[in-house]
Structure 1
């Protein structure tokens, strides 16, 4: 069957034709929302009044965001959760990946898959599961603490009463950090395990023949070889930690918890837009968060560049 004349394009047009669907979708669902949010950052707008209700306010939204106490509190919560969940992820994932790489051969894929499973599990299912685990009266975690309280050596370290994880502001942050750590540590294990498999075996055998112990091999060969992947993993943790939304949102029913202890910046942006109908201020805050993410990513790059990563 012959194509019509207007469909007979020269071969040089083929790449553009194949790229056109992606470019179109990216412009509609990627660039347009990005550009529109930047435009909204300089407007005051209540969406129920229509597009005609927009009014240019200049930098007022940014000034409001920088003077908003709740915005700064959400940034502090976000930074706390990012550090409390992100740092342990890598401190645990690196030795765990080394252990799996050295100890498992045939069963390696199955072990890695078990650790990776939380990462691909639905966030809603994870939050519901941990909501029951953190229950004050019937939760498994409080039951374990109660059992440890009866032991002679560990009992004095345990709290005297059951912890109200989801309603106590001092306990809510650690609870969220534990969930985030549990969910993403397997992802980092996969990253580091992939990097470990690229280290030449000859180097390790030569170090072993020269009398280097396992700790020396790890410190002088494995760890420097992992630096590029550590840089990649830490960068992802910085970006993901500052955009933390799903776990605290579901665990606190979208309200941030008691005294807003679990309110991250992403949750506050969501509430500012959809609860308070101030899309202009929410857009300004989102761009301030974008600048913060860019700054911390740049600082991470500088820190690892000095170490040759």
Structure 2
């Protein structure tokens, strides 16, 4: 009878456990932290600390020189019932609406034209972007002359077509239209460049397919271009909301010589007094730094609320 050879056991392979590397901490990467530290130090000194101090200041009464007096929530309660603050909110929203929607329309049309341009594309981009980097003070002075009652270019054009002059900088709606026009002129080119960047990310094959299907330019824009530009449109709308609701230099410079009141009055009848102008009036004209800080936090809440509303509206349209 043959014997069966015994099976040999396979050798046991012992896996080598890698040695635990010591954790590299601050001593190893100190030079990297040192390289990025200036940004964080400056942000702490000129960002977080002032924001935290403004929140602390909003619970106190302070004229900027004497000692602070604890006020608690009394200044916020007064802010809720302050009719001048609510008027400044209404004025800001009207100016924002008059400026933002025409500006977005003009920026999108300009971007489509730039995207289809064959020659001098870079020159057109620089020309349209130039207003956004021009000094707001200088632009406001020029627009003050353009909307002047007696010698302004706008009234000269109205008289040329047989219409009466309009006291643009002395009537409530004239003031708002003048400020909104200035803001539209200033930011149309900037947003057109952003829309142009969004247009250049759309594949050309989609436009070719739309032409093959018989779609015209209008149908192509609403069925191809606009849906694919929705993220860019959302960005432009949110940024325009944040900047438009914080308008200060435009009404301050444009209306500083139209009323016999403070620099931050916003013109006759406070028709151009935006939220930020009201904040400056309370803080630096009335020397009420505590209430001014409360107004600043009220402005922050309004801006956040409107940004969320705009974002949610576009998100719902995108989901639909």
Gaps spanning 5+ residues in structure 1: where?
Answer: 1-8, 150-157
Q: 1:143 aligns with which of 147, 156, 164?
A: 156
Structure 1 position 68, deviation (Å): 1.2
Q: Which residue of 2 aligns with 1:69?
A: 83
| TM-score, scaled relative to structure 1 | 0.90
Query: What SS does structure 2 have at the residue aligned with 1:106?
Result: coil
Listed as ranges, the matches of 1:181-260 within 5 Å are: 181-253=184-256, 254=263, 255-260=265-270
TM-score normalised per structure 2:
0.87
Match of 1:261 among 258, 266, 271: 271
* More displaced 10-residue stretch of structure 1: 290-299 or 216-225: 290-299
| Matches of 1:143 and 1:299, distance apart in 2 | 40
CA distance 1:27–1:112, shift in 2 (3 Å): same
Q: CA deviation at 1:106?
A: 2.7
Q: 1:112 aligns to what?
A: 125
How far has the Cα of 1:67 moved from its partner? 1.3
Task: Name the residue aligned to 1:124.
Answer: 137
Return the alpha-carbon distance in structure 2 between the equivalents of residues 69 and 304 of structure 1: 32
Equivalents in 1 of 2:240, 2:288: separation in Å? Answer: 29
Secondary structure of 2:168 counterpart: coil
Higher relative contact order (CA 8 A, sep 6+): 1
Aligned pair count? 287
Residue 133 of structure 1, CA deviation = 1.0
In structure 2, stretches of 5+ residues that fail to align are 1-25, 257-262
Q: CA deviation at 1:169?
A: 2.3
Tell whether 2:301 aligns with 1:291: yes
The equivalent position to 2:166 in structure 1, one of 156, 163, 166, is 163
* Partner of residue 83 from structure 1, selected from 72, 97, 112: 97
Larger radius of gyration: 2
